[in-house]
Amino acid sequence: MKRNDWKLIGGILLIAVVFLIGFRSFEKREPGKIRVTVEGTVFGEYSLEESQDIPIGKGNVLVIRDGKADMIDATCPDRLCVEQKPISKVGESLVCLPHQVIVTVMDGENRDTDALAK
Amino acid sequence: MKRIVHFGMFTALALIFSYVESLIPISLGIPGVKLGLANLVIVLVLDRMEVGQVYLLAVTRILLAGFLFSNLSSILYSLAGSLLSVTVMYFLNRTEKFSIVGVSVAGGVAHNVGQLVVAMTVLETLQLRYYLPVLIVAGIVTGLLIGVIASEMLVRIRRGNER
């Protein structure tokens, strides 16, 4: 029965690789822009080229420095968002689940309707 | 009666595993990546309890652990991950084609994927899909770890029962 296990693991691994390649192959090489959404609505979009400090809502602070965005402070209990490394590539994101804040580096086009004004 | 006692024991055990895990400050920085220590209990009882009881165990453990050591929103994600995980593991186990290690791997992956899908739904964004490859690999790794531990434990328990 252990033999089948390896096939299963191999299959799952393959799926993961397929996703990885699929996602990466749609990257564009333009100066990055990030989009911040809070609780499902777009909070703002910022260029990664400009160094700036961005306070977000109830208790998150985002900074942009050297072309990367990083969460440097948060009042949520686990502060996982602060621990995440700075992002700069398309598709990378910083997430604060308790505050429902998402910071993502945008694709070149607005392909997703991932923000709705409510 | 014996079943109720066993159920209580296993639930308490899973709860303690959850607690111990919450004390470990290791984090990959990606939300939802944990060791899944409490899943060890789920994996162990998968063969011995009816599937309804396994679900109940998982839900009870998550609710208790969530209210005691964690917060409401994380309960939601844990529930989603666990329910999918138990479902996948139950069906895989029924086919009798995989050992407990394989089942655990599938469970680990399903757990993470379930959490990601719920996060994407709650936050109404497709952007989180980029986490998929990493979470799948993390699920495989933790599933392997838990599966190997469980399998070793079962071997020793069986030896103990033969005396």
Residue-wise pLDDT tens digits, B87-118: 999 999 999 889 999 999 999 999 999 988 99
d(Cα B91, Cα B39) in Å, to the nearest integer?
16
The pLDDT of residue A28 is above 60: no
The pLDDT of residue A108 is above 60: no
Range with top average pLDDT, A7-16, A89-98, B74-83: A7-16
Closest to A80 (Cβ–Cβ): which among B27, B98, B137? Answer: B27
A84–B29 CB contact, under 8 Å: yes
Among A17-31, B62-76, B134-148, the range scoring the smallest mean pLDDT is: A17-31
What's the farthest any 2 CA atoms get from each other in chain A?
Answer: 57
Min CA distance, B28 vs chain A (Å)? 8
Residues of A in contact with B101 (CB under 8 A): 2, 5
Neighbours of A47 (CB within 10 A): 12
Predicted pLDDT of residue B104: 95
Closest to A12 (Cβ–Cβ): which among B71, B109, B124? Answer: B109
Predicted pLDDT of residue B124: 78
Predicted pLDDT of residue B27: 60
A88 contact B CB<8A: no
A16–B98 CB contact, under 8 Å: no
Predicted pLDDT of residue A110: 46
d(Cα B31, Cα B33) in Å, to the nearest integer?
6
Q: A17 to chain B: nearest residue by CA?
A: B133
| Residues belonging to chain B with any Cβ–Cβ distance to chain A shorter than 8 Å | 27, 29-31, 71, 73-74, 77, 96-99, 101-102, 105-106, 109, 119, 122-133, 136-137, 139-140, 144
A10 contact B CB<8A: no
Q: How large is the average pLDDT for residues B74-84?
A: 90
d(Cα A73, Cα A81) in Å, to the nearest integer?
8
The string of pLDDT tens digits covering residues A31-56 is 678 889 888 888 888 888 888 888 88
Min CA distance, A60 vs chain B (Å)? 16
d(Cα B13, Cα B74) in Å, to the nearest integer?
20
Predicted pLDDT of residue A115: 46
Report the share of chain B in percent with pLDDT over 90. 51
The pLDDT of residue B143 is above 90: yes
**Looking at chain A from residue 31 to 50, which residues have their Cβ under 8 Å from any Cβ of chain B?**
37, 40
Predicted pLDDT of residue B145: 93
Q: How large is the average pLDDT for residues B15-36?
A: 76
Contact criterion met (CB below 8 Å) for A78 and A66 = no
Which tokens is A111 given?
């392909």
Report the share of chain B in percent with pLDDT over 70. 94
The pLDDT of residue A117 is above 50: no
Q: B120 to chain A: nearest residue by CA?
A: A114
For residues B35 and A85, which has the higher predicted lDDT (pLDDT)?
A: A85
B126–A98 CB contact, under 8 Å: no
Q: B118 to chain A: nearest residue by CA?
A: A97
Q: How large is the average pLDDT for residues A4-17?
A: 92
